[in-house]
Amino acid sequence: MSELVTDCPRCTATKITFDLLASTKIEPQHRWQNWYEAFCVCRHCHKSMIFVVSENGIDESETIAKVGLARLTASVNNFVRVERYVTLRDRATTPPPEHLPENIRLAFEEGAMCLSVNCVNAAGTMFRLCVDHATTGLLPEANENGLNAAIRRSLGLKLQWLFDNDRLPHALRDLSHAVKEDGNDGAHAGILTVQDAEDLLDFTVALLERLYTEPKRLELAIARRAARRGAAA
């Protein structure tokens, strides 16, 4: 049985020893670093906790792969870093659409996490941020066809201008009503309902898939076809 030293979220004891009884590997990072969820019991309060830990380095990763976290004879802290502990934030969330820019993906994941724990106003703010990032680049540099500074500042007005000028698919227009023209949709006023946040989520997903996921999938399909043709030649 391995030992892990960290602060206990259950009894607030600091730098207390935990018995690490079991672990499971979760998502890898940086192509080499494995992350784990480790089931531990505090020696002070005797209550259990699941910690999320990450490997310290490649050598440590190789050792863990041979014996497993729960069978390390030295302190587990020599091999991993405690990132956090499992909470309600780990409840299943809506995954982001594929092939998003990093800043938009991170904002979407934060919004989905907020929605999963019923923080609807925070979720709405992050979904609006996704839409704002995704659509800013669709505006021309010069003001034209009524475009002005006020429209550039207001997400709702910006979306209306993009639809009116055929820079966004009109099929998305009905869903876009989740973003009010004056911005007073809860993200600013703090009065979003769960239904409002879910409407924002639906529009955000549909928009991001149209702008990023579908074009990239088509690009990859064309590349695969070209590769097949080249191999057959």
Query: How far from each other are the two terminal CA atoms of the chain, in whole angstroms?
Result: 59
State the pLDDT at residue 186. Answer: 56
Backbone angles phi, psi at 93, to 5 degrees: -125, 170
User: Residue 212's CB: how many other CB atoms inside 10 A?
Assistant: 19
> If phi over 0 gives left and psi between -120 and 50 gives alpha, with beta otherwise, what is residue 30?
left
pLDDT one-digit tens code per residue, 179-206: 875 445 555 667 888 999 999 999 999 9
pLDDT at 90 over 90: no
Q: How far apart are CA 43 and CA 24, in angstroms?
A: 21
In percent, how much of the chain has pLDDT > 90? Answer: 83
Q: Is the pTM of this model over 0.85?
A: no
State the pLDDT at residue 183. Answer: 46
pLDDT at 16 over 70: yes
Can you tell me the mean pLDDT for 106-124?
93
State the pLDDT at residue 93. Answer: 87
State the pLDDT at residue 5. Answer: 98
State the pLDDT at residue 7. Answer: 98
State the pLDDT at residue 166. Answer: 96
Q: How far apart are CA 36 and CA 38, in angstroms?
A: 6
pLDDT one-digit tens code per residue, 4-14: 999 999 999 99
Can you tell me the mean pLDDT for 155-160?
93
Lowest mean pLDDT among 45-49, 95-99, 116-120, 145-149: 116-120
Can you tell me the mean pLDDT for 161-186?
83
pLDDT averaged over the chain? 92
